[in-house]
Chain A
Amino acid sequence: MKRFIATRILLSIVTLLILSILVFVASQVLPGNVARNILGPLADQASVDELNSQLGTDRSLVVQYWDWVTGLLTGDMGTSAIQQRSVFDIIGDSVVNSAKLALLAFLIVVPLAILGGVYAALKEGTLRDRTISLGGLSATAVPDFVWAVLLIVIFPLGLGIFKPTATAPPGSNVFEQVYYLILPAICLVFVLFGYIARMARAGTLEALDADYTRTAIIKGLPQRTVVRQHVLRNSLLPTIAVVATQIGYMIGGLVVIELIFNYNGLGKALFEAAQRKDIPVLQTGVLLVGVVYLVATLAADILYSVLNPRVRLGSES
């Protein structure tokens, strides 16, 4: 298994390297002249050149890429020319905010979706199964900003509860913060519920159909024992991987949700950076999103291999 984990880590590093090149190309090479983009088409050539040399964007691309990557590795993320702040400051605050929101959403959705999926599988074909499955599917399919609109119309506007903005006043305690964050978190829950529940349901159905489940039933075990001991052990393993990949999808959702609820998180920071063509913030932030995703899937893979004896112990025969 050590070999498996080592290979997996190595592959992740290679993927990260490719990702960094992709991000660099997309944000720095394709848009063209950086200073011209900042100063606009009316600025004279001399000031454009001067700004480029100030920013270092007149150097060769390879050198720029190298500087960026080595900077990141040594903890130097550079400075945003537009905001006149260090990238670390801009991103650092927003990451903490985003993490709070994401954590809240995850704490709600993971147990709920797994429970829902397993329950639907056990009641396969019944109205309850169809309600959960179709409900989950619809919740997932509808874009998050649409949920946000609906929730805002219903709760703060209609019923006068919860807040249409997610930012709690400074100095709020945890409960107040949660109160403010509850609507955006629910939007994320809606979007994630379907994926995770569907996977949990499929995994459970597969395990229910497996020969070993038949063995357990024919042994004379009560149904509850069959499900707990024999079915769930196997059916929830693949769900782990899905939960991890959802972290990636969730960051996509954050951009939209943070924008609509006016919450100062990473998503909003990246959106604003893209709008203002604030390249240093954008490329570092985007890379960070990729890193989070890669680390999450790597962790899931390792966890899966630890929990699954077929991977952990390999085959001896």
Chain B
Amino acid sequence: MTQELATSAPVSTANALELEDLEVEYKVRGAWKKVLRGVSLSIAPGESYGLVGESGCGKSTAAFAALNYLPRNGRVSSGSIHVAGKDLLAMSDADVRTLRSTQVSMVYQNPTSALNPTIHIGDQVAEVFTLQGVGGSEAQDRAKAMLQKVQISDPTGVMGRYPHQLSGGMNQRVVIAMALAKDPTLLMLDEPTTGLDATVEAEVLDLVAALRQEFGTSVLFISHNLDVILRMCDKVGVLYAGRVVEQGTVDEVFHNPRHPYTVGLLRCIPRAGARKDQGRLDTIPGFLPGLGETLPGCVFADRCALVQDVCRTDEPPLYDVGAGHISRCHFHEQAQDLPRNTSPVAVTEERPAESSDRVPVISTRNVRKTFHQDGHEVRAVEDITFTLAPGETLGLVGESGSGKTTLARLLLGLTTPDEGSVVELDGVPVAGAIGKRDREQVRSLQIVFQNPDAALNRRFSIKRIIGRALTMLMGTRGEQLDTRLRDLTHSVRFDVRLIRAKPTQLSGGLKQRVAIARAFAGDPKIVVCDEPTSALDVSVQAAILNLLAELQVKNDTAYLFISHDLGVVRYLSDRIAVLYLGRLMELGAAETVFGPPQHPYTEALLSAVPHVDGDERPRIKLTGEIPSHADPPSGCVFHTRCPRYIGDICKTEEPELKEVEPGHFWRCHYDVDELRTLQQSAPETRPEIGVSGGQRGAEPPV
């Protein structure tokens, strides 16, 4: 593929980007701290290079350095940067501007804030051409052509709009159009799809891949998401603490990793098919070294299970392990034998009787919520009916705006549902508003929020946060309180010595443990987990998922687990509910929902997600934007985007939620067998990747 691209690229032998021994420092409180520690990488013409690593390892700094756009407190302290063969550090300001306007482009996270809110989209794109001396109306025409290239269906209409009038995905297309308008030599994408829905992410990634072919642009792709890198890049560099620890072709690095950090990273991700009852996820112990810390030896030594004395004293050289694959590990040959940090043994104990035989711990009937906005009725949640057995996990998935979080808040009583909605705890109907529920009811239903920074009062100590929950929910006081506190912190693996700290002094993972401890303080029967790991790095995510799985078995707690990450949902869930525009589209056992026959929406949602496993099923593309709640489509609300649209019946008649197989419900006009046949005809070759010691459950074909 690389060769193919090279022929279509402009005739240039120079590498698009060449970083040599690049060191970048930031001045923090008067002292210079190293952020990049001798990064060397090169991107050949037409090549796509992925940079992965957890937050704080210096990914974005590398990209901004390549644009000579460091923050005011940053500087390049040594090394060199060549863009398209030219020495960036030797350039005048005017030359740097010319380079930016002709050779390099960048696309980053949060497209909506990257565009000027008070300028028409068309003018913002046209500006790129004006800068190159193209006149008024021609610049507009070219801008329009560019918008067409990024597959915006109504370019004329979009030209006259403002960023706030477009969706995030649409804005990212505009930013990409702007970036490619100058036909750059190098395109840098910094987490371009983070924060977008999986379906939108898939579209944007497809677009980037197609345009890269067309323009022959070299790409630097930065992401924390290994799956995305795998899909988008030829080569990958793994960045850790400001140093590239491993580099090679994507295939080599992901399937034959030769650095313990890469191995650990790959093991942390719940693979498609991995499930909590098959084994715990592996984690990486310890934490990233501090900014600018002096590291005489290997940067990863402190967290490495293979560490030897030499690792702490001698910086490992670049070992060529074949086929351009390099590793900075003294013991790269044993990397794949890295011992696991957590025991692979599954946490499941004897599961108490089949869940369906037990009285549901929570059940809902016709839960709905209508918001009133500017005189419009907005149906956020519509007729949701489900039950949850003790110790069971119900995964809740759907794009943003599908009503997942609203539903959670309705159950908790933080938002009061409409008249006629029924929520029963242990078979007893409860009041809609939290203030009208008794203590027993309040403590039996708790939540772990997405963002622990907002969920923990930053002025309180950990002791006060957890202690107050114990006092209010269980009436625990005095000496007993100290005992309970110790037990509780121990059960979430939180070091009791840190109990006097304030949340701001803790890492994200620790904060989330505190939030989990608080949720479990009242010995709840149900805990809602609202994207509990989406703000965390993958290695920390694995530890939190392990903890949740363990607590569930120990306390027989039921979970309502909300996540946009289908791998995570599948790992933890027994059953899965799929929401679209506030409606329940499909509900069934996890394995059932993840395999055919499945609701067309579920099918599309699943196929949007790239997998490190290299799932190469042809993707089902969802076209169009998510419709507005205020004005939902007639008939089946999904018909405007449905890949398996039947005909008028979908437009006129809303399908009922029906039981198509025992325990498997969906809302679709299709007959179950018909859909099964259609969906099974799709090719199903899914090559496994081999990481010894990693997750390799015997999962059913998806």
Contacts and interface: CB of A to CB of B under 8 A. Distances in A.
Whether A and B touch directly in their complex, counting CB atoms under 8 A apart, is answered as yes
Contacts of A59: none
A19 to B, nearest CB: 28
The binding surface of chain A is classed by DSSP as helix
Nearest to B108: A211
B446 to A, nearest CB: 33
A229 B110 CA distance: 21
Contacts of A237: 118
Contacts of A234: 116-118
A60 interface: no
Contacts of A233: 116, 118-119
A234 B119 CA distance: 10
Nearest to B94: A222
Interface in A243-285: none
Contacts of A230: 116, 119
A62 B374 CA distance: 36
Contacts of B166: 316-317
Interface in B89-105: 97-102, 105
B342 interface: no
B62 interface: no
Interface string B101-129: 11001101010011111110000000110
Contacts of A214: 69, 114
Interface string A195-234: 0000000000000001110111111111000000110011
A215 B162 contact: no
A317 B165 contact: yes
B322 to A, nearest CB: 38
Nearest to B175: A215
Interface size class of B (residues with CB under 8 A): 20 to 34
B656 interface: no
A192 B106 CA distance: 42
Contact of B131 (A215, A219, A309, A316): A219
A216 B131 CA distance: 11
Contacts of A211: 108, 110, 113-114
Interface in A15-48: none
B114 A315 contact: no
Nearest to B132: A220
B157 to A, nearest CB: 11
Contacts of A210: 113
Contacts of B162: 309-310, 313
B625 interface: yes
A309 B625 contact: no
A237 B117 CA distance: 12
A230 B105 CA distance: 18
B127 A310 contact: no
B178 interface: yes
B67 interface: yes
Contact of B178 (A219, A310, A315, A317): A219
Nearest to B120: A309
B167 interface: yes
A219 B114 contact: no
Nearest to B113: A211
Given A212-B113, A229-B119, A317-B165, A218 B106 contact: yes
A233 B117 CA distance: 9
Interface in B125-182: 127-128, 131, 162, 164-167, 175, 178
A309 B100 contact: no
B113 A315 contact: no
A130 B99 CA distance: 34
A3 B374 CA distance: 9
B101 A216 contact: no
B114 A308 contact: no
Given A313-B162, A313-B165, A315-B164, A217 B69 contact: yes
A49 to B, nearest CB: 56
Contacts of B127: 219, 221, 229
Contacts, number: 75
Contact of A218 (B100, B113, B117): B100
Interface in A286-317: 308-310, 313, 315-317
Nearest to A221: B131
Nearest to B105: A218
A131 to B, nearest CB: 21
Contacts of B625: 317
B628 interface: yes
Interface in B60-75: 67, 69
Contacts of A3: 374
Nearest to A309: B162
A221 B115 CA distance: 14
Given A313-B165, A317-B625, A216 B116 contact: yes
A62 to B, nearest CB: 36
Contacts of B99: 220
A212 B97 contact: no
Contacts of B108: 211
Nearest to B401: A317
A308 B164 CA distance: 11
A210 B119 CA distance: 14
B165 A212 contact: no
A211 B127 CA distance: 17
Given A220-B131, A221-B127, A317-B167, A310 B117 contact: yes
A35 B118 CA distance: 59
Contacts of B101: 219-221
Contacts of B131: 219-221
Given A212-B114, A214-B114, A313-B162, A220 B119 contact: no
A163 to B, nearest CB: 45
A215 B117 contact: no
Contact of B117 (A216, A220, A221, A309): A309
A3 B373 CA distance: 13
Interface string B352-376: 0000000000000000000000100
Nearest to B96: A220
Contacts of B175: 215
Given A219-B100, A220-B99, A315 B165 contact: yes
Nearest to B99: A220
Nearest to A232: B118
Given A210-B113, A217-B69, A220-B101, A309 B118 contact: yes
A169 to B, nearest CB: 50
A216 B101 CA distance: 10
Nearest to A4: B374
Given A219-B100, A220-B101, A221-B127, A310 B115 contact: no
Contacts of B167: 317
A144 to B, nearest CB: 36
Contacts of A229: 119, 127
Contacts of A219: 100-101, 127-128, 131, 178
B69 A212 contact: no
Nearest to B102: A220
A317 B374 CA distance: 15
A313 B120 CA distance: 12
B97 A222 contact: yes
A215 B115 contact: yes
A210 B113 CA distance: 8
Nearest to A233: B118
A273 B625 CA distance: 65
9 tightest Cβ-Cβ pairs between the two chains A and B: A220-B101, A220-B100, A211-B113, A212-B116, A309-B162, A211-B114, A233-B118, A215-B114, A316-B165
11 contacts: A211-B110, A212-B116, A212-B117, A215-B175, A217-B100, A219-B101, A220-B97, A220-B98, A233-B116, A308-B118, A315-B165
Given A230-B116, A233-B119, 7 more contacts: A212-B113, A214-B69, A217-B69, A219-B101, A220-B99, A234-B117, A316-B165
Interface of A: 3, 210-212, 214-222, 229-230, 233-234, 237, 308-310, 313, 315-317
